[in-house]
Amino acid sequence: MTIDRIRALELHRKARGKIKIYPSMNVQNEDDLAMAYVPGSVPAALSIAEDPLLSYDYTGRGNRIAVVTDGSAVLGLGDVGPHAALPVMEGKCLLFKLFGDINAFPICLDTRDPQDVVHCVRLLAPTVGGINIEDIASPNTFTVVRALRDSLDIPVLCDDQQGTAVLVLAALVNALGLVEKKLETTRIVVMGAGAAGVATADLLLKAGARNLICLNSSGILNEANPRMDHIQTELALRTNPEGLKGGAAEALEGADVFIGLSRSRALEAEQVRRMAPRSVVFSLALPEPEISYEAAVAAGAEVVATGAGESHNSMPNLHAFPGIMRGALDVRARALTDSMLLAAAYALAGVVDKRQLSPMHIIPDPFCDEVAPRVAEAVAQKAIEEGLAAQPLPVGQVYNDTWQRLYGSNMARI
């Protein structure tokens, strides 16, 4: 999608930030002031001192998250640093609010040390009910997320990792249904072994994929690949069961599915033509896909999706992250597990009515009013099932509450 640079800059200049803080209490006189600040805050503070979990009842913590980055891998821009990352993080916070009614705040850290990020997030954790790690370069992003998940009792989401993985799995479930293939028996090629590619491969394996091949810039991940970091080395041990060597041409020969999370124009039409009949191509690189929608269809792919733009099956991550975090927050989940992510993916896939599935419609419109409510409900119920919900809720309540927050009489106000 082409953006008018001058118009975009002017909109940012006028907005002076995409999110703002508004009061939730009226302060019109001294009594109101005393109740809102001191001494009115004292009873709440003393209660929380005795039981820290009461911070969810007496403060806004339960609907507040931090969106944390070091600016080292900003979407479409790369390593631009924490200052330049700020408008993108503000945009992400806006999306959390608009599509999940979640109060999200950008935290841009001036460091490249993942341990610094971990330390800072641990220190600010009492202020929030959840963490979203955003646009930190691989492999540091995995170091940060793993450390935080091991040490915090609040959900930790990385949209670059889990958000992408959930979206891809959801779309793939529907695509494979159309081409009459099963996840367990398809040969899947994931091009790109950064944060999104590794996380997507991991979730596909957990969903039941058995023949998965991953590539980085030096080719297929295997013992002969000279440029694997420790995360890719771990993944190599769990993928490529046929022991293939080489690059994209070797990996795609006879493959059923291509998932591109790499770089623009990395896939050739001839490589698509050499895939198996009724192939699926997800070309998700930004700002330009590995191969265009039109070129992939012309080369014989039956189902094609791209990362963004105006073509059919556009797949921005917006489908996944607001609902995932909404569901986790509503039941005060103490963690975000693989089972919760799988539940989110299957719920997202189910938003598209089976009667409406077609090669040009495998994923719902992100503005569909069923997306966030269904994903949130699925995540919440899985958290309850796994014993990770500090506030279990009846079946259907999270769906109904989310729908009302976003589209009903109680819809969110920015």
Final residue in a domain of this structure, among 131, 154, 177: 154
Q: What is the mean pLDDT of residues 223-246?
A: 96
Are residues 229 and 192 located together in one domain of the fold? yes
Is pLDDT of 310 > 80? no
Q: What is the mean pLDDT of residues 192-196?
A: 96
What type of residue is 319?
Answer: H
Are residues 143 and 187 located together in one domain of the fold? no
Are 330 and 394 in contact by the 8 Å Cβ rule? The answer is: no
Is pLDDT of 409 > 80? no
For residue 194, is it within any domain? Answer: yes
Are residues 193 and 244 located together in one domain of the fold? yes
d(CA 363, CA 348): 8
**In the structure, what pLDDT confidence band is assigned to residue 123 with cuts at 50, 70 and 90?**
very high
Are residues 223 and 280 located together in one domain of the fold? yes
Are residues 171 and 129 located together in one domain of the fold? no
Q: What is the mean pLDDT of residues 116-134?
A: 98
Q: Which of 18, 92, 97, 181 is catalytic?
A: 92
pLDDT digits (tens, 9 = 90+) for 90-104: 999 999 999 999 999
d(CA 279, CA 257): 6
**Parallel, antiparallel or unpaired: strands 64-69 and 103-108:** parallel
Compute the mean pLDDT over every residue in the chain, rounded to the nearest whole number: 95
Could you give the strand order of the β-sheet that contains 103-108, starting from the edge strand earlier in sequence?
Answer: 103-108, 64-69, 130-133, 156-158
Tell me how crowded residue 32 is: count the other CB atoms within 10 A of its CB: 13
Q: How far apart are the first and last CA of the chain?
A: 26
Instruction: Give which of 362, 334, 338, 332 is closest to 350, Cα–Cα.
Output: 362
Percent of the chain with pLDDT over 90: 89
pLDDT value of residue 366: 86
Q: What CATH number corresponds to the domain at position 202? A: 3.40.50.720
Are residues 72 and 42 located together in one domain of the fold? yes
Are residues 199 and 112 located together in one domain of the fold? no
Are residues 130 and 34 located together in one domain of the fold? yes
For residue 388, is it within any domain? Answer: no
Instruction: Give which of 323, 365, 366 is closest to 344, Cα–Cα.
Output: 323
Q: What CATH number corresponds to the domain at position 113? A: 3.40.50.10380
For residue 75, is it within any domain? Answer: yes
pLDDT digits (tens, 9 = 90+) for 171-182: 999 999 999 999
Binding-site positions for a divalent metal cation: 134-135, 160
pTM of the shown model = 0.95
Are 301 and 269 in contact by the 8 Å Cβ rule? The answer is: no
For residue 410, is it within any domain? Answer: no
Structural domain that includes position 201: 165-306
Binding-site positions: 134-135, 160
Final residue in a domain of this structure, among 132, 154, 176: 154
| SS3 annotation, 35-63 | HHCCCCHHHHHHHHHHCHHHHHHHCCHHH
Say whether 22 is catalytic. no
Are 267 and 290 in contact by the 8 Å Cβ rule? The answer is: yes
Q: Which of 14, 20, 22, 37 is catalytic?
A: 37
For residue 214, is it within any domain? Answer: yes
Final residue in a domain of this structure, among 284, 306, 328: 306
Are residues 142 and 251 located together in one domain of the fold? no
Are residues 252 and 278 located together in one domain of the fold? yes
Say whether 399 is catalytic. no
Is pLDDT of 66 > 60? yes
Are residues 199 and 255 located together in one domain of the fold? yes
**What does each C-alpha distance from 352 to 92, 175, 294, 370 come to in angstroms?**
25, 11, 23, 9
Is pLDDT of 230 > 70? yes
**In the structure, what pLDDT confidence band is assigned to residue 1 with cuts at 50, 70 and 90?**
low
> What is the domain count for the chain?
2
Instruction: Give which of 178, 176, 195 is closest to 186, Cα–Cα.
Output: 176
Q: What is the mean pLDDT of residues 203-208?
A: 98
Are residues 138 and 274 located together in one domain of the fold? no
